[in-house]
Structures are given as structure tokens and as C-alpha cells.
Structure 1
Amino acid sequence: MRKIIFLFSLTFIIFNTQAQKLPENQLGTWYMYNGSHKLSEKYSLKTMAHFRYFETASEFQQEIYRLGLNYKFNPKTNVTLGMSYATGDLAYDTSSANLYEYRFYEDLNLNSKWGVFNARHRFRFEQRFIHKNINIDQFQNWIRYDLNVSYPLSETWSVYAFNEIFLNLNKSKRFVQNWTGAGFIHKLNNNIKLKAGYFQIKLPSKVLKRLQFGIILNTDFSKKTS
């Protein structure tokens, strides 16, 4: 009887240890920088750098850098053309193929008011040039749709919620992932905001949980007129 109990306990410990090593059982973290730099009444530069981890600050998953040129048609409609570079680790807690990719992207952003809420629709088209290991290269077309809704709590605090869906047009099963989350934004001054939130990444076979901590920088280099 003792042997059976011992074997059962050992099996449970081994299973529990292995389960804890699965990425869906970890609370990962994204550290984010996003910037908007106004060049003129119509044009601005969009910049971004994200550092993403399977855990709080370890088990690297991905880093991505983005640069784009934004053109504003009016307060409700603007577009962005840009490119990004990303490198990542495909597996958690084990070695995996080296991955990096270059992306070209085109955004259509639509802003609107839903009563007291601010809503933004972003349609993103991506052309991804993916390189794995030494000799594996792929080209993929992706479409993303992001709905972001925010509500001002005060002059310096606001709350937001978002949902973004990803489709891969080069696969028969086009659904890739879906992001859903919420958080808070604190305005320090006219140039800097801090962001903190939580979201889930739904994949075809699992769900990942992530914290977000970010800084938002807005600058204005356009000419001031009296």
C-alpha cells in the first residue's frame, strides 16, 4: 500500500512539474514602447519596440520593432504605411528554431464616438517574410482587425478594452490567434502616458495569459504658428 501511495505521489509530482512547464500555465509579460511624432498637420511618424517574455522577465519569446509613416485625412480617418522587424523563440523552456522576420504593413484607422466611449477600428494588412534556421524562408499575407474602446475616468486616468483577430491568408484554416484584454492608462503630461493591462492570446490549441506594461510617447515637431 505504501508503495502504491509513493508511486501515485511521484506520478502526480512529475505530472504537475511538467504541466507547470507548459506555456499556457505561465503568466507572461510584455514590456512596450509606443510613440507618435507629429511632423506636420497631416504627417507623423509611428514608432514601436516590444520585448515579450513567456514569464515575468525570463524565457524570451519575441522582440519586435516597428516604424511607420502616418497620414491623417481628417480627425476620424488616417492611414499608416510601415515596416517592422521581429525575432523570436518558438518554444517555451526548450531550444527551438531561430526565427526572424521582416514585415511590411498598411493600417487603416477609423476613430469614432460611442456616447461617452472613444472607439478605434484598425484594419492591418501585413506581408511577412519569415526566416527559420538557415534555409527555411516563407512569405505570408496576414489580415488583422483590432477594436479598441476607451473611457476617460478623469483628466489623467482612462480605462480601455480591446479585441484583435489575426487571419493568415496563406493557410486553409485562416484563423491564427485572437487577443482580448483590458487595462488602464495614466497621463503624466502632454507627452508621456503609462499603460498597464492584462490580456489573453487565444490560439487554435491553447490560451496564453499576458501582462502589459508600457510607455506611450507623443511629440510634436511641426512648426508652431502664432
Structure 2
Amino acid sequence: MKYLLTAILLTISISNSYSQTSQEDMLGSWFTYAGNHKISDKFSASTLAQLWTFEVAENFNFILVFGALNYQLTPKLTTTIGYGYGDIDGGFYTDKPHTYENRVFEQFVYKHKIGNLPIDHRFRVEQRFFHKLDFKSTSHRLRYRLGTKIKLNKTLFIRVHDEFLATIDDEIIDENRLYGALGINLSKSVNVQFGYLNRKIKGLNLHRLQAGIFIKTDHRKKQVD
């Protein structure tokens, strides 16, 4: 653990020691809170908040919050419908006005194993409604994420996933997000992850440190004997 923290601090120190002007050259950050709240055997609610910054822990880029309702069709397949709200910075080191987003999405997640390796597939469709000053626009996005979680012991695990995104508007904008992290189970219901995310979009190759906390709660009524 101390070696991981040392590496993160060294990376931050190096990134802040240079005067860089391109967002592609900057090391940014991506902070995540995600919660899953069991309501019944079939239904659960999801909550999420994300903060992106152009530089490590500074220079605001984007914030997103959302809530969603999940229904477990089978032990392997879960469907979801949700709503999110976002605030997007006008640009890297610019005074352009922010863009605000209302987002509706539908998804399903399918989980299985290849041997002893757990595999998860997430398919998502998003309808995105933007407004900036008096201008409004709409776009649609398709997303597919392939991931796995590798347990190292009872406390530590590795999380890896790769996600492809395609925005369908006047043109198709492709994006790819590759993520790898070390996870630490703080309890049966809480874990934290520290990792790296590589985001490729519109010809840019962006590098982001990621830190996240993930929480599970169970609100089902306890059966009394």
C-alpha cells in the first residue's frame, strides 16, 4: 500500500512541476462515488457522483450526478433505467460558458465466468439534452463496457475494464476509456479503488488518476424467526 501511495504522490509532483498548456499533456483526475442500495430481492437503486478535473484535484472539467432503478431479471442479468444531471466546463483554460446536461439512460449488465475469471458486460443507451445560454441540443450515445475483477486476497483486488462509446449526432464521435485500479475492501459493503484511466476522444489522448469509493447497502426487511 505504501508503494502505491508513493507512486501516486510522485506522479502528482512530477505533473505539477512543469508548466504545460495542452490538456493532453496534463495529468488530470477523476473522482467517483457509487452506491448500490438493495430494496428487495429483485429491485435496487443506484446513486453516483463523478468529478473530473483537467489537472490533479484542480481546474474543473465536469461533474455528474445520477440516480437509477435496477431490476434483476436473472442472477446473471440486470436491467436499469436512470436519470443524470451534468455541468460541463466550457473548455481548458478558457472563459467559455458552461454547458448543462440532462441525461436519461437505459442499460443492462450481464455477468458470467470464463473458468474462474468473472466477466461483466455493460450495454448502455443514453439520450442527452444540453443547454448553454439560449442554445439547446440533443444527442444519443451508445456504450459498451467489458470488465473483470480479480481477487488477490480477502482485502485486495484488481479492477480492469475497457469501454467504447459512440455519440450519434451530426457526426459519429468515438471514444475509448481504459481503466485499471487496485481495490481495497474496507468492509463487506465498502471498497475504495485507486487507479489510472486513459481516455481517447476527438484525437486527444488524456491521462487521469482515478480515486473512488463504492458502497453497498441492504434495505430489505430482515426476516424474524
Which AA in structure 2 matches 1:200?
N
Q: Paired residue for 2:6?
A: none
Cα distance in 1 for partners of 2:81, 2:187 equals: 28
Q: Paired residue for 2:161?
A: 162
Which AA in structure 2 matches 1:202?
K
Offset of 1:204 from its aligned partner?
Answer: 2.5
Equivalent position SS for 2:58: coil
Offset of 1:211 from its aligned partner?
Answer: 0.8
Which structure 2 residue ranges, 5 or more long, are not aligned? 1-17
Cα distance in 1 for partners of 2:202, 2:136 equals: 23
Offset of 1:156 from its aligned partner?
Answer: 1.5
Q: Paired residue for 1:222?
A: 220
Offset of 1:90 from its aligned partner?
Answer: 3.2
Cα deviations across residues 131-152 of structure 1 (Å, max 9, x unaligned)? 12x1110011111111111211
Q: Paired residue for 1:113?
A: 113
Q: Paired residue for 1:177?
A: 175
Offset of 1:192 from its aligned partner?
Answer: 0.8
User: Are 1:124 and 2:160 counterparts?
Assistant: no
Larger radius of gyration: 1
> What TM-score, normalized by structure 1, do the two folds share?
0.88
Offset of 1:177 from its aligned partner?
Answer: 1.1
Offset of 1:171 from its aligned partner?
Answer: 3.2
Which AA in structure 1 matches 2:103?
R
Offset of 1:176 from its aligned partner?
Answer: 2.9
Length, aligned pairs only:
207
Offset of 1:97 from its aligned partner?
Answer: 2.6
Cα distance in 2 for partners of 1:49, 1:27 equals: 21
Which moved further from structure 2: 88-97 or 179-188?
Answer: 88-97
Q: Is the 8 A contact 1:116 1:151 kept in 2?
A: no
Which AA in structure 2 matches 1:207?
N
Equivalent position SS for 2:24: helix
Offset of 1:116 from its aligned partner?
Answer: 2.3
Matches of residues 73-222 of structure 1 in structure 2 within 5 Å? 73-132=73-132, 134-172=133-171, 174-222=172-220
Cα distance in 2 for partners of 1:193, 1:210 equals: 20
Q: Paired residue for 1:36?
A: 36
Equivalent position SS for 1:198: strand
Which AA in structure 2 matches 1:137?
K
Matches of residues 1-16 of structure 1 in structure 2 within 5 Å? none
Cα deviations across residues 180-203 of structure 1 (Å, max 9, x unaligned)? 121111111112111111011001
> What TM-score, normalized by structure 2, do the two folds share?
0.89
Cα distance in 1 for partners of 2:118, 2:90 equals: 36
Cα distance in 2 for partners of 1:171, 1:222 equals: 46
Cα distance in 2 for partners of 1:128, 1:122 equals: 18
> What is the aligned-residue identity percentage?
31
RMSD, aligned CA:
1.3
Cα distance in 1 for partners of 2:166, 2:207 equals: 20
Which structure 1 residue ranges, 5 or more long, are not aligned? 1-15
Offset of 1:56 from its aligned partner?
Answer: 0.9
Cα distance in 1 for partners of 2:114, 2:134 equals: 49
Offset of 1:94 from its aligned partner?
Answer: 1.8
Offset of 1:83 from its aligned partner?
Answer: 0.2
Equivalent position SS for 1:84: strand
